[in-house]
Amino acid sequence: MAFDPAVLRAGLAVVERRADQLTAYFYAHLFAHNPGVRALFPERMEEQRDRLLAAITHLVQRLDEPERLAGYLTALGRDHRKFGARPEHYPAVGASLLATLRRFAGAAWTEEQEKAWTEAWTVISQAMIDAERAVPADEPAWWQAEVVHRRWAAPDVAVLTLAPDRPYPFTPGQYLTLCSPRVPQVWRPYSIGCAPRVDGTLEVHVRRVPDGLLSPVLVDEVLPGEQLRLGPALGTAVLDPYSRRPLLAVAGGTGWAQVKAVVEALAQRGDRRATVLLGARSDADHYDLDAVRALVDRYARLEMVLAAPEDGAGRAEAVALVHEGLIRLGDCSGRDVLLSGPPDLAPAVAARLARLGADPELVRHDPVPDTLDRSRPASAAERFLQPRDIAWINRTELG
Ligand SMILES: Cc1cc2nc3c(=O)[nH]c(=O)nc-3n(C[C@H](O)[C@H](O)[C@H](O)COP(=O)(O)OP(=O)(O)OC[C@H]3O[C@@H](n4cnc5c(N)ncnc54)[C@H](O)[C@@H]3O)c2cc1C
Ligand code: HEM
């Protein structure tokens, strides 16, 4: 690597305290110099988290881990086709980023900084552009999918069945990103809530986030017959297909969707034991119970544990119940583990499982935003991100 990650981190540390102004300046600069790019971004930018800029900060933190970074950039570059990002946009975004950092770092912006950021941007951009070019010619930038069915699973959760216009490849445990023409350019991730089906349909479980841009539209407004766009399947929280180890899955709220997909796939094979611990805030918060029962009936080696405190109990009681359930499982060594739910679920449960002998190498979950891990001191780049809110599954759910 030609550039020194420490130099980049030092640059971020200088500007971190003015993150909000920096973000506003970055987008103003980008759109003023490249008016054509504005249409690729959502209309209501002020309500958007600055995903692009936050991601760049996230990347700078990970420049020391080239292997993980390479996989991440490949997925990101492939995924960026759905935004309409073109190779010629990368230098434009890079120029705005550098102009922004230069302005906000003031006297601290040195030639060394300029050189390191230019090189880093070139390497990162090239990896994303190469990934985009490597996509097979017949793979679309997004899939068109019809909503063929919508059912209420709970007062604030809708299960949507989607029929993509062409085969949609995914592995159980992955998530997709969705966009509705009712809210153009607003893409959000949702776990795929089923194993691959013969008819090609798939389902997502969406919980309404009050004041959210997309989830209320998906839960309350989108009707059967409407079209949505799907980005390519993402995520690495999938099971090792060759493993014969028993599975332990712990899910909270709509985290059930991801677990359901994985357990459905295991039920088709039927050769492994699986234990699922499903946590919720109350009995009423447990949803999709018909599907839960159907899986238990069909898959003799599945043990399903539902954990929910009395109505009116707080989140702490719900969390305590899940922890109690884990302790009752006893020794967790030698199991594949899948954790799914609100962002603070995975770190909390993983720590508990480590004490019960679970092998950290066998624990899978979707990426947890750094900002939510408050157990260690924030680095400069983390502090840069901290004021922002991270979207995930319902924060009011069990975690
Ligand atoms: C890998 C992954 C998988 C996911 N899978 C699912 C899934 O299967 N089902 C599901 O329902 N969601 C899932 N989510 C969350 C989903 O992607 C959206 O973040 C969520 O639907 C909110 O989107 P929105 O556009 O309605 O809200 P936004 O417009 O993004 O947010 C509006 C406001 O609400 C706040 N906010 C955002 N999210 C939440 C939240 N969860 N709780 C409380 N406040 C919030 C924001 O900070 C902001 O102030 C997943 C997220 C990730 C990263
Ligand atoms: C090295 C370069 C880049 C990196 C690391 C990067 C990273 C990211 C990431 C991680 C996201 C969030 C994805 C999500 O929420 O699903 C994102 C969103 C986005 N990116 Fe990029 N990106 C880069 C370059 C570009 C370029 C060149 C364009 C084209 C103009 C672009 C356009 C977008 C758009 C439109 C979004 C959605 C924004 C939103 O929802 O607010 N990105 N980017």
SS3 95: helix
Closest C-alpha to ligand 1, atom 36:
391
Reading the block at residue 343, the tokens are 């962002």
Q: How far apart are CA 159 and CA 207, in angstroms?
A: 9
Q: Is the Cα torsion angle 26, 28, 33, 35 positive or negative in sign?
A: positive
Closest ligand (CA of 120): 2
Does 222 have pLDDT greater than 80? Answer: yes
Does 239 have pLDDT greater than 50? Answer: yes
Q: Which atom of ligand 1 is nearest to the CA of 186?
A: 25
Report residue 399's pLDDT band, with 50, 70 and 90 as the boundaries.
very low
Closest C-alpha to ligand 1, atom 33:
212
Tens digit of each residue's pLDDT (9 = 90 or more) over 298-315? 999 999 999 888 877 777
Closest ligand (CA of 208): 1
| Two domains, one topology: 143-230 and 247-377 | no
Reading the block at residue 295, the tokens are 């899986």
Class in CATH terms, 247-377 = alpha beta
pLDDT at 260: 97
Asked if CATH classification 3.30.70.520 holds for the domain at 143-230, the reply, yes or no, is: no
Q: 205, 338, 392: which to mutate for ligand 1, most atoms within 8 A of CB?
A: 392
Q: Which atom of ligand 2 is nearest to the CA of 186?
A: 40
Q: How far apart are CA 240 and CA 272, in angstroms?
A: 12
Ligand 2 centre to CA of 120 (Å) is 16
Phi, psi of 351 (to 5 degrees): -65, -45
pLDDT at 53: 66
What mean pLDDT is reported for the chain?
A: 87
pLDDT at 376: 35
Closest C-alpha to ligand 2, atom 20:
52
Among residues of the chain, what percentage have pLDDT more than 90? 66
Q: How far apart are CA 217 and CA 116, in angstroms?
A: 43
Closest C-alpha to ligand 2, atom 19:
52
pLDDT at 356: 93
Tens digit of each residue's pLDDT (9 = 90 or more) over 56-72? 777 877 788 888 889 88
Ligand 2 centre to CA of 40 (Å) is 10
Residues 6+ apart with CB under 8 A from 359: 333, 334
Look up residue 166 and give its DSSP letter: S
pLDDT at 283: 83
Q: 152, 174, 209, 389: which to mutate for ligand 1, most atoms within 8 A of CB?
A: 209
> What average pLDDT does range 374-392 have in this prediction?
39
Tens digit of each residue's pLDDT (9 = 90 or more) over 1-23? 667 888 888 888 888 777 778 88
Does 95 have pLDDT greater than 60? Answer: yes
pLDDT at 79: 95
Ligand 2 centre to CA of 281 (Å) is 35
Kindly report the pTM of this predicted structure: 0.89
* 42 C-beta closer than 6 A to ligand 2: yes
Q: How far apart are CA 47 and CA 179, in angstroms?
A: 16
Closest C-alpha to ligand 2, atom 10:
55
pLDDT at 263: 96
Q: Which atom of ligand 1 is nearest to the CA of 189?
A: 17
- Give the start-to-end residue ranges of the domains of the chain: 5-133, 143-230, 247-377
Q: Is 170:192 a contact under the CB 8 Å cutoff?
A: yes
Does 324 have pLDDT greater than 70? Answer: yes
Instruction: Give whole-number Cα distances, 256 to 29, 48, 92, 118, 334, in Å.
Output: 42, 27, 41, 43, 23
Ligand 1 centre to CA of 341 (Å) is 11
* 177 C-beta closer than 6 A to ligand 2: yes
Within 6 Å (CB) of ligand 1, which residues are found? 175, 188-191, 205-207, 209, 211-215, 254, 257, 366, 389, 391-395
Class in CATH terms, 5-133 = mainly alpha
Report residue 281's pLDDT band, with 50, 70 and 90 as the boundaries.
confident
Closest C-alpha to ligand 2, atom 17:
52
CA-atom Rg of the chain in angstroms = 22
Report residue 46's pLDDT band, with 50, 70 and 90 as the boundaries.
low
Q: How far apart are CA 61 and CA 8, in angstroms?
A: 9
Does 334 have pLDDT greater than 80? Answer: yes
Report residue 373's pLDDT band, with 50, 70 and 90 as the boundaries.
very low
Closest ligand (CA of 210): 1
